[in-house]
């Protein structure tokens, strides 16, 4: 049982693929499915490397989006939001053993029934394994699993980026043109916290600002007007006006800063029509679309109290827009650069074209014996239980806005890339282990948490994007399925229980993109990722067999066609594959070998000749095509008898 965020959808689909005999319930408190990727407006735009999602439900989704745009071959990462939701539905309805139920209302503590360390039921729902794929983590909190929120201190996990951050000019008000924090009566201006910041490096309970990611368009025929928020008060935006004045004072914007200086306006990622834009806070602006200080205590609030936070966040985001549009104090140039946009009139028609999902960048986080930290990310460490590949950097938005010596100061922001490791031929990546999704064993034994997983504030800033959530969701779905299929084994023991008899957890469904690309690295002689991780016997068997085939071709003087014919007659090879995969899988593997006349596999075999060096200079897309062939072979474990 799971929720309909992208992680929850990936979990349900992966569990359904694992066993048609399983009955899977996908339940959603709201009327919308798809979480931030549909109701929130961001799709899967926050993807560092495409390689990391190949073979996952996330990749199926971006490919499925394309069919709605005149059959474009472009993978659409940020489609129209009705298409985003429909693509998720297309994937879900392929499986008769998934039951989708929406609009169930908020999860409430009194409706939860537990027996010792196991969840029995939630309201009228019962399940053997539960997946909390929500952004709020309420189910996790109500079970009694240990959790946290806010920021850890530097000393707790020895993280250099942890805790209260030192002052930085990045994403802040201008140091040479300070903005006064007080009104004429001496009180603090709105949207400034009265709390005193703790010393640098200390822990606190503050979180990144929440927001709404508006969909904007410059195409007039597709525009809807910006609404005036019902609680609008122009005086709430005095700090915004002072910030605009400070930008003018620098001399860089004598006629007023353009709207795009105050917020980021991103083109929808790989959007074929090209006229939709995603309004996000600007990492370089002192006053932008993130509602700083307004989410205090969100994790512990009731559903009704959270609605109040949603409302004041909406009032802030739309008030910022309305202020720029209507205040006589705003320079004409600044207003004009906003007036070219409108809300997209074909998005969220039942919610006045505003995303119904508030962007909860971070909330509750699980705490267990395997908390993921900044140091795990930078170490390039390989894990026995890796289930996902991360490719996003540290991305901490402003956490607090306070008065510092009567001047406004933003605090907490950090944007830093993950260092590319020495042996990597691709971009920076890091492995994410299965253990971050499971509560401590003595607490809850049938719960998996792919979204509010066990990570520090710093590490979570790199793992908190939807492509990572979907990978973890797929892993959670696969583990949940195997827990049920092996007699409701505790989720903490799933890996140990199933690997000896059917070593698939770290091969099939959960990280096919990792094993396939690494297999490709071993075969071709290149280092594509931080390290190669073949601890399971099945992986070793597959790679050894593929290496043997390619080595045999390199040593032969046969054409590819002749070599394939000889291989097809080689019973020894087939027997080895049968032992590894079972009869059905062996047939499929040999079908792939027989299709080696395809351009991709021919090039793979050919280029593994010449001391394996020429392949290193291939374009990334060619590498991906080759890796996809190997992935098909490795994923045959799911077809084993």
Q: Which residues contact 471 (CB under 8 A, 6 or more apart)?
A: 10, 52, 53, 56, 58, 387, 388, 389, 432, 510, 511
Q: What is the pLDDT of residues 396-437, one digit of tens each?
A: 999 999 998 889 999 999 998 887 655 555 567 888 989 999
Is pLDDT larger for residue 34 or for residue 578? 34
DSSP secondary structure of 505-566: TTTSSSSHHHHHHHHHHHHHT---SS-----SHHHHHHHHHHHHHHHHHHH--S-HHHHHHH
For CA atoms 481, 484, 489, 491, give the dihedral sign. positive
Q: In whole angstroms, what separates CA 202 from the centre of its chain?
A: 28
Other CB atoms within 10 Å distance of the CB of residue 149: 19
DSSP secondary structure of 37-53: GTTSS-TT---S-GGGG
Closest by alpha carbon to 171, among 414, 446, 524, 527?
414
Length of the chain as a residue count = 641
Is pLDDT larger for residue 224 or for residue 108? 224
d(CA 13, CA 478): 9
* CB half-sphere exposure, 234, CA atoms < 13 A: 9
Is pLDDT larger for residue 92 or for residue 616? 92
pLDDT of 560: 57
Other CB atoms within 10 Å distance of the CB of residue 195: 13
235 in Cβ contact with 185 (< 8 Å):
no
Q: What is the pLDDT of residues 159-204, one digit of tens each?
A: 999 999 998 888 899 999 999 999 999 999 999 999 989 999 999 9
Q: What is the pLDDT of residues 27-69, one digit of tens each?
A: 999 999 999 999 999 999 999 888 788 778 998 999 999 989 8
pLDDT of 567: 60
- Examine the pLDDT at 561 and tell me if it is beyond 80: no
Q: What band does 550 get if pLDDT is binned at 50, 70 and 90? A: low
Long-range CB pairs of 460-463, under 8 A, 24+ apart, other chains included: 460/362, 460/365, 460/372, 461/208, 461/362, 461/394, 461/395, 461/396, 461/414, 462/377, 462/390, 462/392, 462/393, 462/394, 462/395, 462/418, 462/430, 463/372, 463/390, 463/392, 463/432
pLDDT of 19: 86
Q: Across residues 272-301, what is the average pLDDT?
A: 95
pLDDT of 18: 84
Q: What band does 110 get if pLDDT is binned at 50, 70 and 90? A: confident
Q: Which residues contact 633 (CB under 8 A, 6 or more apart)?
A: 519, 542, 546, 589, 592
Q: Across residues 454-459, what is the average pLDDT?
A: 98
Burial class of 569 by CB neighbour count within 10 A (0 to 12, 13 to 18, 19+):
exposed
Closest by alpha carbon to 498, among 8, 17, 18?
18
Closest by alpha carbon to 462, among 515, 400, 392?
392
Q: How much of the chain, in percent, has pLDDT values that exceed 70?
A: 76
d(CA 300, CA 297): 6
Tell me the average pLDDT of the chain: 82
- pTM of the entire predicted model: 0.81
Q: Across residues 201-223, what is the average pLDDT?
A: 97
Other CB atoms within 10 Å distance of the CB of residue 581: 24
Residue 440 in tokens = 């401590």
Q: What band does 533 get if pLDDT is binned at 50, 70 and 90? A: very low
Least confident of 6-15, 343-352, 376-385: 376-385
Q: What band does 627 get if pLDDT is binned at 50, 70 and 90? A: very low
Left, alpha or beta for 117 (phi > 0: left; psi -120 to 50: alpha)?
A: alpha
Q: What band does 540 get if pLDDT is binned at 50, 70 and 90? A: low
Per-residue CA distances from 375 to 371, 412, 455, 610 (Å): 11, 19, 11, 39
- Examine the pLDDT at 517 and tell me if it is beyond 70: no
Is pLDDT larger for residue 82 or for residue 617? 82
> C-alpha angle with apex 363: 50 to 79, nearest 5 degrees?
35
d(CA 307, CA 320): 20
- Domains contained in the chain, CATH given: 6-149+363-374+432-498 (3.50.50.60), 166-199+209-360+394-427 (no CATH), 512-639 (no CATH)
């Amino acid at each position: 049982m799971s929720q309909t965020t992208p992680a929850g959808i990936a979990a349900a689909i992966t569990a359904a693929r694992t066993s048609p005999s399983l009955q899977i319930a996908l339940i959603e408190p709201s009327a919308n499915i798809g979480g931030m990727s549909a109701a929130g407006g961001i799709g899967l735009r926050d993807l560092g490397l495409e390689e990391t999602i190949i073979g996952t439900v996330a990749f199926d989704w971006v490919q499925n989006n394309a069919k709605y745009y005149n059959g474009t071959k472009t993978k659409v990462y940020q489609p129209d939001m009705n298409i985003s939701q429909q693509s998720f539905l297309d994937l879900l309805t392929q499986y008769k053993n998934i039951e989708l139920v929406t609009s169930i209302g908020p999860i409430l503590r009194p409706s939860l029934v537990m027996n010792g360390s196991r969840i029995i039921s939630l309201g009228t729902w019962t399940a053997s394994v539960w997946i909390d794929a929500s952004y709020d983590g309420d189910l996790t909190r109500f079970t009694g699993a240990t959790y946290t929120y806010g920021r850890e201190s530097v000393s707790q996990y020895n993280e250099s980026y942890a805790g209260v951050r030192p002052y930085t000019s990045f994403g802040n008000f201008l140091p040479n043109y300070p903005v006064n924090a007080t009104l004429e009566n001496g009180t603090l201006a709105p949207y400034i916290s009265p709390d005193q910041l703790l010393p640098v490096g200390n822990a606190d309970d503050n979180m990144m600002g929440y927001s709404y990611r508006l969909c904007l368009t410059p195409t007039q025929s597709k525009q809807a007007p910006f609404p005036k928020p019902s609680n609008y008060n122009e005086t709430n935006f005095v700090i915004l006006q002072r910030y605009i004045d400070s930008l003018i004072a620098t001399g860089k914007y004598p006629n007023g800063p353009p709207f795009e200086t105050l917020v980021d306006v991103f083109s929808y990622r790989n959007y074929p029509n090209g006229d939709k834009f995603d309004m996000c806070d600007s990492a370089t602006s002192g006053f932008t679309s993130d509602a700083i200080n307004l989410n205090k205590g969100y994790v512990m609030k009731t559903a009704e109290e959270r609605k109040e936070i949603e409302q004041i966040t909406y009032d802030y985001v739309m008030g910022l827009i309305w202020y720029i549009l209507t205040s006589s104090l705003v320079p004409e140039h600044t207003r004009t650069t906003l007036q070219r946009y409108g809300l997209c009139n074909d998005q969220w028609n039942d919610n006045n074209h505003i995303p119904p999902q508030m962007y909860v960048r971070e909330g509750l986080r699980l705490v267990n014996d395997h908390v993921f930290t900044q140091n795990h990310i930078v170490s390039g460490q390989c894990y026995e239980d890796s289930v996902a590949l991360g490719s996003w950097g540290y991305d901490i938005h402003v956490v607090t806005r306070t008065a510092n010596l009567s001047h406004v100061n933003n605090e907490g922001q950090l944007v830093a890339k993950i260092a590319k490791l020495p042996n990597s031929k691709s971009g920076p990546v890091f492995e994410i282990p299965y253990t971050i999704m499971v509560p401590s064993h003595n607490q809850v034994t049938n719960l998996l948490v792919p979204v509010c997983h066990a990570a520090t504030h710093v590490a979570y800033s790199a793992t908190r994007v939807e492509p990572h959530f979907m990978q973890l969701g797929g892993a959670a779905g696969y583990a949940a399925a195997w827990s049920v299929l092996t007699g409701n084994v505790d989720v903490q023991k799933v890996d140990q229980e199933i690997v000896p008899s059917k070593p698939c957890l770290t091969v099939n469904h959960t990280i096919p993109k990792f094993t396939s690309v690494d297999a490709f690295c071993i075969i071709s002689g290149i280092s594509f990722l931080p390290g190669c991780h073949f601890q399971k016997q099945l992986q070793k068997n597959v790679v050894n067999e593929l290496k043997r085939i390619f080595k045999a071709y390199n040593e032969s003087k046969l054409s590819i066609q002749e070599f394939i014919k000889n291989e097809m007659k080689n019973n020894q090879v087939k027997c080895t594959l049968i032992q590894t995969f079972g009869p059905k899988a062996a047939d499929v593997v040999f079908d792939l070998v027989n299709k080696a006349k395809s351009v991709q596999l021919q090039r793979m075999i050919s280029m593994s000749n010449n001391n394996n060096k020429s392949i290193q200079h291939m374009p990334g897309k060619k590498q991906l095509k080759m890796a996809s062939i190997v992935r098909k072979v490795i994923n045959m474990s799911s077809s084993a008898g």
